[in-house]
């Protein structure tokens, strides 16, 4: 699943905010999910989210006007695709504010 999240921050500011706030977001989600992140390079963050017996791998590409989130959604979670997409848009958008 590929999700584009538009922003008007520019690549450098989006990168800065994503790096700063991802640790805070992981700490907040700790009681509900296990989240690991690392930056493969300046413009690509890799995430793994574990919850309710599932592990979902994601990558985030930082571009000048959008973040592009690629989610490797297991077929068994296909029924929840729209809900997962909405949560990703909401939570990732908050990281940029």
Model confidence over 59-69: pLDDT tens digits?
Answer: 999 999 999 99
Class of domain 2-95 (CATH, top level): alpha beta
CA distance 34 to 17: 21
* Residue 7 pLDDT: 95
Mean pLDDT of the chain: 90
Q: What is the pLDDT of residue 34?
A: 86
34-56 mean pLDDT: 90
Q: CA angle, corner 55, sides to 54 and 59, nearest 5?
A: 145
Per residue in 6-38, pLDDT tens? 999 999 999 999 988 887 777 777 778 888 889
Alpha helix ranges (H) inside 1-97: 11-29, 81-95
Q: What is the pLDDT of residue 2?
A: 96
């Amino acid at each position: 699943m590929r999700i584009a999240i538009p922003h008007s921050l520019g690549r450098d500011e989006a990168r800065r905010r994503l790096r700063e706030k991802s640790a805070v977001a992981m700490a907040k989600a700790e009681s509900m999910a296990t989240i690991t992140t690392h930056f493969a390079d300046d413009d690509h963050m890799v995430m793994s989210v574990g919850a309710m017996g599932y592990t979902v791998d994601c990558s985030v590409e930082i571009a000048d006007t959008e973040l592009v989130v690629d989610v490797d959604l297991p077929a068994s979670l296909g029924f929840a695709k729209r809900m997962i997409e909405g949560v990703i848009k909401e939570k990732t958008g908050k990281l940029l504010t």
